């Protein structure tokens, strides 16, 4: 039998410190330390994120090794997030990974965070089918909104993307207008479950490229709507929170799904996946699933723990790169802006 490959992966691109251990494409442990500190500021504060990563990284890696029941000397390679992300945050994971790879004399693998969100679909999991190439992926997170055509493990074609705010920002900024703490996306989802999604209407934006997205206009429309209603009734938000959340969420889901349907029609591809933190959203998950019946799609919805930032998704890219002997040198730099194919 072939010797298994053990990969330690590190994720530190934003405000979550993650470490995972994979044996080939199976996750043995996936530890994440969330940084609660940012909710008091209504968004991620880069300097605080960097400092928290420094405090978290050693215990998180130790826990990952402990949960996987292996020791450092069993590791075959170390994978880490090279970018995109916040520079101060990326530097912590990058420096840690480089130092440990030198200390253990094992290969270093730099991973693109956005590729990792997509390739999380290739983590071995019970009852979970893997997408067949080529497939479409709607990648939706706090920093990105893209419709991608994935040709193979290292070929990602951007069909469309946001020209301003990412969809996660649209959720979080709308939540902020409603007085909800950061990150507001999951809270909008929670309150929306109790509300009427057709209670309020918001106009959907138009873009020059038919597959592109724009969310900054929606945020302004919501702001003006709330200001208008507040003038008439100071209790408007409090009395209608569920309906407002349901209506905002439904508008966002409609915008995303219309473009995704168009991309499927234009490319003829009916294998469709979603990825990224916002793919945790229940309406997005349910709507996509419903397209199996109505549009004949085969859909791929990631397990909940692999939607928002996590190290297991970095590990799966690391595994495929390891199989290709695609290793990096110690002088590899963290990069805050990184194209999906880099
Ligand atoms: O992928 P991710 O963890 O980090 C980035 O790489 O950006 O995505 C975080 C984003 C945040 O904007 C958060 O509000 C959003 O994902 N999010 C959600 C839900 N869960 C997380 N948005 C809507 N509904 C959810 N259930
Ligand atoms: Zn992410």
Task: Give the start-to-end residue ranges of the domains of the chain.
Answer: 6-120+307-323, 131-301
Q: The sheet that has 298-300: what strands, in order across it?
A: 155-161, 145-152, 135-140, 271-275, 298-300
Q: What is 53-77 written as a DSSP string? A: HHHHHHHHHHHHHHHHT--GGG--E
Q: Is 172 in the pocket of ligand 1 (CB under 6 A)?
A: yes
CA angle centred on 113, ends 111 and 116, rounded to 5°? 80
Q: Return the minimum-mean-pLDDT range out of 42-56, 193-207, 267-281, 310-324.
A: 42-56
Confidence of residue 266 (pLDDT cuts 50, 70, 90): very high
Q: Is 281 in the pocket of ligand 1 (CB under 6 A)?
A: yes
Residue nearest to atom 23 of ligand 1 (CA): 185
Q: Is 278 in the pocket of ligand 1 (CB under 6 A)?
A: yes
pLDDT at residue 46 in the model: 84
Closest CA to 246 of 169, 171, 145: 171
Compute the distance between CA of residue 112 and CA of residue 146 in angstroms, rounded to an integer.
15
Nearest atom in ligand 1 to the alpha carbon of residue 169 is 12
CATH architecture, range 131-301: 2-Layer Sandwich (3.30)
The pLDDT of 79-88, averaged and rounded, is 95
Q: What is 284-304 written as a DSSP string? A: HHHHHHHHHHHH--EEE---G
Nearest atom in ligand 1 to the alpha carbon of residue 175 is 14
Nearest atom in ligand 1 to the alpha carbon of residue 308 is 3
Compute the distance between CA of residue 120 and CA of residue 273 in angstroms, rounded to an integer.
11
> Treating both helix axes as pointing N-terminal to C-terminal, what angle do 282-295 and 185-192 enclose, rounded to 10 degrees?
60
Beta strands in the chain (DSSP E): 6-11, 16-23, 26-34, 77-83, 108-112, 135-140, 145-152, 155-161, 271-275, 298-300
* Fold match flag (6-120+307-323 vs 131-301): yes
- Beta strands 16-23 and 26-34, pairing class: antiparallel
DSSP state of 2: P
pLDDT at residue 22 in the model: 98
pLDDT per residue over 97-135, tens digit each?
Answer: 999 999 999 999 999 999 999 999 999 987 788 999 999
Confidence of residue 146 (pLDDT cuts 50, 70, 90): very high
Q: Is 83 in the pocket of ligand 1 (CB under 6 A)?
A: no
Q: Looking at domain 6-120+307-323, does it have CATH number 3.40.50.20? A: no
CA of 142 to the centre of ligand 2 (A): 7
CA of 55 to the centre of ligand 2 (A): 21
CA of 146 to the centre of ligand 1 (A): 14
Which residue shows structure tokens 């209506």?
A: 247
């Amino acid at each position: 039998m072939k010797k298994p490959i053990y990969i330690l992966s590190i994720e530190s691109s934003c405000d979550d410190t993650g470490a995972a251990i994979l044996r080939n494409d199976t996750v043995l442990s996936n530890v994440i330390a969330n940084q609660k500190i940012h909710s008091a500021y209504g968004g991620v504060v880069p300097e605080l994120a960097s400092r928290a990563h420094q405090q978290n990284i050693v215990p998180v890696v130790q826990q990952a090794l402990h949960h996987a029941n292996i020791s450092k000397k069993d590791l075959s390679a170390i994978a880490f997030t090279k970018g995109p992300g916040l520079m101060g945050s990326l530097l912590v994971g990058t420096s840690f990974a480089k130092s440990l790879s030198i200390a253990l004399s094992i290969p270093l693998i730099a991973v693109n965070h956005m590729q990792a969100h997509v390739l999380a679909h290739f983590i071995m999991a019970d009852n979970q089918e893997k997408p067949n190439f080529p497939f479409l992926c709607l990648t939706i997170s706090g920093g990105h909104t893209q419709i991608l055509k994935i040709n193979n493990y290292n070929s990602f074609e951007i069909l469309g993307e946001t020209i301003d705010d990412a969809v996660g920002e649209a959720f979080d900024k709308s939540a902020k207008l409603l007085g909800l703490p950061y990150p507001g996306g999951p809270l909008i989802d929670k309150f929306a479950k109790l509300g009427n999604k057709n209670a309020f209407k918001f106009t959907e934006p138009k873009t020059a490229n038919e597959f592109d997205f724009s969310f900054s206009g929606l945020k302004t429309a919501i702001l003006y709507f709330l200001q208008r209603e507040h003038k008439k009734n100071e209790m408007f938000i409090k009395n209608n929170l569920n309906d407002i959340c349901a209506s905002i969420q439904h508008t966002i889901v409609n915008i995303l799904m219309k473009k995704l349907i168009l991309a499927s029609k234009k490319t003829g591809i009916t294998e469709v996946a979603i990825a990224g933190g916002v793919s945790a959203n229940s309406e997005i998950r349910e709507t996509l699933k419903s397209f199996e019946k109505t549009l004949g799609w085969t859909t791929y919805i990631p397990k909940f723990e692999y939607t928002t930032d996590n190290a297991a998704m970095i590990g799966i890219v690391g595994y495929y790169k390891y199989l290709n002997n695609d290793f990096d040198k110690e002088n590899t730099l963290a990069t805050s802006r990184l194209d999906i194919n880099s």
